[in-house]
Structure 1
Amino acid sequence: MSENERPQNEKINFFTHPFLFYPVLLFIFIFTLDKIFFLDKVRDYVKVELTYIYYDVKQDLLKEMISKFGKNAEKKSDKKLVLLMGSSRMLYFKNEEILDFYPDWEVYNLSSAVTTPAYYLYFLERLFEAGVKPDFLVLEADPFQFNANSTTFKKSNLANSFDLRFVLSNAWDLGKENVNYYLGNYFFGVSKNKPYLANVYSHLTNKKFEQADLIKKLTIDSLHKDKGNALSPAGGFMEKDYGRLEASSVRTIGWIYPKYSPSEMQFSFYEKILDKVKEEGVPTLVVRPEVSLPLENLLKEMNIPAPWWERIRPINQKFGIPIIDMAEASDYECNTFADSGHMAVDCYRPFLRFLRMRYPGE
């Protein structure tokens, strides 16, 4: 037998053929290098916007509530815990006004951009298991949160919220595609914070990014200090041009209501939420914040709100939890908007008074 020939039954020995380890070593090296993209400094350079900051701070506020109101809290606050959970439509309450007008309340705002029932359920599960029971829970509900064809759930909630335990325990509802997307972001930094070189170049060369670190720090400090309530990017601005509201409405439709189709996944999470708060005995109110007339008219033309109301109202009735359309509430009236889908900051004061009137025992 030629010395170059090898018996068919001869076993491969990795120790005598070290090159067989090269693919394994290469994978370990790349996997380790990939973790650089989880670093905050790297994330700041590859991201073109700072929305993720809001999600990061909400996780910090979750821990803060558990430390102050949980079953293992050293000294629980004597104030009433009021918890707000919604999208950016409920994000801009002024914390100083809450303290001035309702000093007996301690209000935490876990609202963030384009949230969904799945986002609410994650936080409520973590709070309840830690023994935190809000004295009053206010949830936002809107058809856009139940759109199966919107990509915002992946890009916002799934990319920036949840933990591995929540995703795996709710894998059946989330579905294979969403679970795989989350796991990809969880294990691989280049998936979560994609290294687009154009973004890095812009951050290095464009003067508008020179103050990015300062803006980020001020935003984080403000969100922590005001317990999740944010400063409105529009300030006190209110749009008075009806034509601009119409144009903004078209953009909003294309962004969060595209190819509208009800999401069975989000309706399933919504029922789980109401079931949990009912089981825990937490006084709960669900509201749909008012949107501008041009946007509401477009939604009606697309036949989005009516079927949604027909489906969601029976769910709330099933659990005995009220749901109120702010546009139809007789004791709330504010008709100014920063854009088609967001009320102006002047509306948050009557909105807060509206909530106070429905506080249990008032």
Structure 2
Amino acid sequence: MKSKPFLFYPVVLFLFIFLVDKIFLLPIFHDEFLQAGNSVFYFQRKVLKERLLRDPDLKDKKLALVFGDSRSYPFSELGIPEPHKKDWSLYNFSSPQGIPMNSFIQFQEILESGVTPNFVILSLSPEAFDDSKGFILSPFLRMGCDKNCIETVWEDVPSKEKWYYFLDHVFAIRSVEFNLSLFSSRLKQGKLREYKSAYNQEYQLINFTKGEYLMYGVHENPIEKIKNDTVRIGNLYMRSFVLGKSQLPYVEAFLKLTKEKNIKTLVIWPKVFPGYYSYYEKFQVKEVWWNPIEVMAKQYGASSLNWNQPNTCDLFNDASHQSALCFVDQMKEIWINYAER
């Protein structure tokens, strides 16, 4: 029989790629390997927790914590109104696509470390509750959930996400979300050291204060630009909306902890651009999702606040995020009506 070695070429190529991929199992890619966006935030939140635990001001000040997704980035100690500002310290643990699982894990770890806040803001977005959109859970499972965390949440992770998690461990490059174009750019500019936090400007900006990210929406964009963004994210997040089962248990677990610890808690539904809110109306998100959240919050002694109402701030950075300019009055509202009541 005539030898046909070329038949083995695909197998050899696959084995070569598989072996090269294992480079991404090295600790350097998991301890501190900052790319852009998601990886920077999730790494900084771990650093922020350690800063919180060492903060000497907590002996003399009341503590507020913020959990949620990018819509709550601008919640800042700077926005606490006088004369209350001098009495409070605020740490913002909001994360990109910060699903309730992520908020609960962070909150539980902080409590177990011996720190109990006086006031907590839990910001929720309906997109995080749609299990059919697998890409919403991926950042947390890849970058915000260690071995102990996986053991806690695994039973509630949707089957499709379990399969993706398995692939992340078979092909290590998936788990670090390696950005080839960013690597190429940094290599050409001689900036590979930006993978380390000490040289990463995005990290330095986020880490400069206590987790808030005011630069995300410091201005109001033109309406036409926001309308175009509405179509983009509407097609991305709201082609359909199905209330899943994975996240509601973690909202309840979060609220149960706040009740047990007697912590004042405010659950917020951040406002989105009215054009984008029309997608919510199409799928009756308020009735299907928010109304049960309000009932749950009341059950555990927490307050709830829906900013998707008329006569609330109408300045937007994009279709999904209010301008940071809105948060000055909103922080005042929160502190007078909820934190200090």
1:141 is aligned to 2:124: yes
Query: How many percent of aligned residue pairs carry the same amino acid?
Result: 19
Corresponding residue for 1:50?
37
1:313 is aligned to 2:294: yes
Change (3 A) 1:41 1:139: closer
Corresponding residue for 1:339?
318
1:356 is aligned to 2:338: no
Q: What TM-score does the superposition give when structure 2 sets the normalisation length?
A: 0.81
Contact residue 75 and residue 212 of structure 2 kept, 8 A: yes
Corresponding residue for 1:239?
221
Corresponding residue for 2:112?
129
1:327 is aligned to 2:308: yes
In the alignment, the residues of structure 1 paired with residue 263 and residue 49 of structure 2 have an alpha-carbon distance, to the nearest angstrom, of 17
State the shift of 1:202 in Å: 4.7
In the alignment, the residues of structure 2 paired with residue 196 and residue 327 of structure 1 have an alpha-carbon distance, to the nearest angstrom, of 36
Corresponding residue for 2:101?
118
Corresponding residue for 2:282?
301
Aligned ranges 1:39-78 → 2 under 5 Å: 39=29, 43=33, 47=35, 49-68=36-55, 76-78=58-60
Corresponding residue for 1:257?
238
Give the aligned length.
Answer: 323
State the shift of 1:116 in Å: 0.9
In the alignment, the residues of structure 2 paired with residue 68 and residue 225 of structure 1 have an alpha-carbon distance, to the nearest angstrom, of 15
Change (3 A) 1:100 1:51: farther
Superimposed CA distance per residue, residues 286-323 of structure 1 (whole angstroms, 9 cap, x where no aligned partner)? 01111111111232123333211233222223222221
Change (3 A) 1:271 1:142: same
State the shift of 1:50 in Å: 2.9
Corresponding residue for 1:271?
252
Q: SS at the partner of 1:232?
A: helix
State the shift of 1:198 in Å: 5.4
Q: Could you tell me which amino acid in structure 1 is paired with residue 72 of structure 2?
A: M
Structure 1 runs not aligned, ≥5 long? 1-25, 70-74
Corresponding residue for 1:85?
67
Q: Could you tell me which amino acid in structure 2 is paired with residue 232 of structure 1?
A: M
When Rg is computed on C-alpha atoms for both structures, the one with the higher figure is 1
In the alignment, the residues of structure 2 paired with residue 42 and residue 136 of structure 1 have an alpha-carbon distance, to the nearest angstrom, of 31
Contact residue 149 and residue 258 of structure 1 kept, 8 A: no
Superimposed CA distance per residue, residues 103-151 of structure 1 (whole angstroms, 9 cap, x where no aligned partner)? 2110000012211110111011101111211100001122112111223
Corresponding residue for 2:140?
157
In the alignment, the residues of structure 2 paired with residue 358 and residue 187 of structure 1 have an alpha-carbon distance, to the nearest angstrom, of 50
Corresponding residue for 2:174?
191
Q: SS at the partner of 1:309?
A: helix
1:291 is aligned to 2:278: no
Q: What TM-score does the superposition give when structure 1 sets the normalisation length?
A: 0.77
Structure 2 runs not aligned, ≥5 long? 1-15
Q: SS at the partner of 2:305?
A: strand
1:226 is aligned to 2:209: yes
Query: What is the Cα-based RMSD across aligned positions, in Å?
Result: 3.4
State the shift of 1:340 in Å: 1.0
State the shift of 1:233 in Å: 3.7
In the alignment, the residues of structure 1 paired with residue 86 and residue 205 of structure 2 have an alpha-carbon distance, to the nearest angstrom, of 19
